[in-house]
Structure formats: C-alpha cells, structure tokens
Amino acid sequence: MTVDGFAVGTAFVFGLLFGSFLNAVIYRVPLGISLLRPSGCPRCETQISWSRNVPVLSWVMLRGRCASCGESISVRYPLVELLGGGLLALSVWQWGLTISTVSVALFCYLMVVLALIDVDHRILPNVITLPGAVVGLALSFFDPRVEWLDALIGGFLGGGLLYFVAWAYLKLRGREGMGMGDVKMMLLVGSFLGWQGALMTIFVGSLVGSVVGVAMIAVSRKGWEYALPFGTFLAAAGVLVAFRGPQIFAWYWSTFAATG
C-alpha cells in the first residue's frame, strides 16, 4: 500500500490535537481530575479559549506563559503535542490507513502517557494499564500485525516475567524492587505487541534502563537505591519495538546468535 504525503501530513496535524489530549491525561489522571473539564492553566485555572488552544503554536506565541497569570508553562506541553503528531504520522507512513495504524498509534499514545506519569509520580495507573491490555487484545483479532494468540500469550508472558522478577527481588532483598504497575504495564505491552514484542521490550528497556541507571549513579552519587522510573524505559522500548521489532530481531540475530 502506498501512502502519499497528504495522508501523512494530515495524520501529523490530527496527531497534534491528540497530543493536547495526552497532556490533559498525563496531568489529570494521577490527580483524579475529570478529563471532561475544559483545559485551563494549572495555577489560575483560567480556561483556555479556542483561539489560544492551538497545539504548539499557542505555546510559541505566548512564549511558554499563561496569558492571564504569566505562570510559565513547561516546554513539555508542546513537545508532547509534537510527539502526538509525529507518532501518528509515522504509523500512517508505515501501515497506511489500516487497523494496524489505529492499533500502533493507540499503543504509542498509551506509552507516552505511562512514561510521563511514571516520571512525574512513579506510578503506572491501573485505569490506564488494565483497560489498555483489554483493548490491545481486542484489536489483535482485527489487526494482521499480530496474532490474537500471540497477543494473549504476550500479555501473560510479559506480565508474568516481571512478576517473577519482582517476586525474586522481594525474596532475595527482603523489600520491593519493582512495583506491580510495571507488571500490569507489560500485560498491556504484550497484548499489543505479542510475546515476541513483549520479550524484546523487556530486553531493550532493561538494557537502556541499566545504562542510564549506571550513568546517573556515576553522576549523582546517590547510590544503587536511586529509583528510576522503569516504566519510562519500558515505554520507550515498546514504541521502538512497535515500529522496528522485526529489524531489531534480525540485527540481534545476525550480530550475536548466528556467528560461529
């Protein structure tokens, strides 16, 4: 299937709007604020009028400040909007206007939300991971990208593996190392990416997490107890695997497994 630039461009623009919604989800869900309320400044709660609610541009025009109270608004807001546009455009570019695009884009959006909530609060809310896992499994029945059985196995294998690691850590060290949030997040990842993708996500996420973790310990000298948001690394790995899973596997196979 060929996809023209118009479709990819349109996807990018719509994705910017989805990105605005992702910002609302990231900010509100952990605080228990309704998503139905109109968006406003977190400090003065002035509602943002439609003319000022244009993704990215509004932030640039207002130079990152609230129009009424002058409170500075993090550069993360326009960046998440750009991410929303970029991920949808990439999905359309790779899979065209298909159910696979719906599935992959939704997966990536869930990963963005979980990654940033984990950074902010060190939690991965059940209200996102559990329904997400169910939706992923449901989509696998229509999405030729992943077999439903692989999705089912993926959820339980991904979640089960992390559950085992969490259990083993607790047994060995006598305290909790990894939260159940990570376990439920892998349930979601596996249901979207299948068991192959789930294993790859854990592998890549752990690898990147370890490298960053060691680097942060070296810089900050906070020691091994410094808790990194593991969900954030799983999320980044999940997005990478969603787009480039087979290529990563082929590269790994040709580099490490097929020699000699």
Binding site for Zn ion (CB under 5 A): 41, 43-44, 66, 68-69, 71
Residue 111, both tokens: 């990963």
CB of 25 to Zn ion, least distance (A): 20
Of the pair 37, 43, the CB lying nearest Zn ion is at: 43
Closest distance to Zn ion from the beta carbon of 53 (Å): 14
- Cα 108 → chain centroid: 5
Residue (48 or 162) nearer to Zn ion, CB: 48
Which of the 8 DSSP states describes residue 194? H
Map residue 178 onto helix, strand or coil. coil
Cβ proximity to Zn ion, 23 vs 100, nearer residue:
23
Q: Tokens 């020699």 appear where?
A: 259
CB of 90 to Zn ion, least distance (A): 33
Q: Cα(90)–Cα(176) distance, rounded to whole angstroms?
A: 38
The amino acid present at 163, given as its one-letter code, is Y
Identify which of residues 40 and 131 has a Cβ nearer to Zn ion in the complex: 40
Residue closer to Zn ion by CB (options 43, 222) is: 43
Listed residue (179, 177, 175, 86) closest to 129, CA to CA: 179
Q: How far is the CB of 258 from Zn ion (least distance, A)?
A: 58
- Do residues 71 and 65 make contact, with C-beta atoms less than 8 angstroms apart? yes
84-123 b/e (C-beta count within 10 Å ≥ 16 → b): bbbbbbbbbbbbeebebbbbbbbbbbbbbbbbbbbeeeee
Residue 67 CB, shortest distance to Zn ion, in Å, is: 7
